[in-house]
Amino acid sequence: MKLREKVSRRPDIPTASMADIAFLLLVFFMVTTVFSNEMGLQIVLPEKGQEVKVKSENIQKVYVEEMGGIRLNGEPVTQDAFVDEAKAILVVNKDAIFSIKTHPRAKYQYMINAFDKLRLASAERVSLAPSTEE
Amino acid sequence: MADIAFLLLVFFMVSTVFRAETGLKVIIPQAEAAKKIPTKNLTHVWIAMNGIVSIDDALITKDKVSPIMNRKRQINPDIIVSVRCDKSTNYGLVEDVFDQFVEASVLKISLATTKKRG
């Protein structure tokens, strides 16, 4: 009896579907990736109980009214004029500190508007004063 | 071809960050001067229009913010809080939350906004 000769074959892992799997994973990660693009306005709150003495002439009072109007040192200003006025103040006194006081029922967006305008005017020293009705 | 696919695959695998929090449904305000904020040390606080606050997907009232933030600050002293507040929220409510941050000595705040195109 003649036995069939044993042919030794090297075992191999089929790799034909490798690219399919790679593409599947690729599509999955491409779809689920969320690139962080968080935007925001940064501010540092004052420490509790910390009182900083500042010269009264450096303080510029900004008041945000209930309906979104802005008053600068008591004078009503328009949104566009506010940027220019703030810039003008900073040219005269670069140590000016803007203190934003907001009406408690004013919308958050209104306060952000005023804050945004100050940032546009390159005012670095901005603080949030406790809200009061005026 | 397969090489490029693998390269892209590795890139996306490495850069993917799965969102851990869902937060609250809020419409954040717009600002022209908004800048990109670094995600390092960042923690999110959501404030809804009715004054409900969400931290780590837990809904809490305003007065519970301080103890939670205090704990977070002890774990990471360089913590930055990103406040995602609805644009129609009354400022009085937002201020109460800020007071809680001051109480917990968490002072670095980022007011989350979307970029307003001039």
Asked whether the whole model's pTM tops 0.90, one would answer no
Distance from CA of B20 to the nearest CA of A (A): 12
**CATH, range B22-115:** 3.30.420.270
What pLDDT sits at residue B68? 92
- φ, ψ for residue A58, nearest 5 deg: -85, -15
DSSP H or E run through A77? strand A75-77
- The CB-side HSE value for B60 (13 A sphere, CA atoms) comes to 17
Largest CA distance in chain B: 58
Please report, for chain B, the start and end positions of each structural domain, with discontinuous segments joined by +.
22-115
Local structure of residue B19 (DSSP, 8 states): -
User: Average pLDDT in the A55-79 region?
Assistant: 87
Higher pLDDT, A119 or A7: A119
What pLDDT sits at residue B118? 65
CB contact under 8 A, A108 and B113: no
Which two structure tokens, joined as six digits, stand for A36? 């962080």
What proportion of chain A, given as a percentage, has pLDDT over 90? 12
Residue from B84, B91, B96, B113 to probe the interface with A (highest A Cβ count within 10 Å): B91
Q: Which residue of A has its CA nearest to B9?
A: A26
Residues of A with a Cβ under 8 Å from any B Cβ are 18-19, 22-23, 25-26, 29-30, 32-48, 64, 102-113, 115-116, 119-120, 128, 130-131
What is the identity of the amino acid at A8? S
Distance from CA of B1 to the nearest CA of A (A): 9
What pLDDT sits at residue A1? 67
Residue A128, class by beta-carbon neighbours within 10 Å (0-12 exposed, 13-18 middle, 19+ buried)?
buried
Chain B residues with CB under 8 Å of A119 CB are: 31, 33
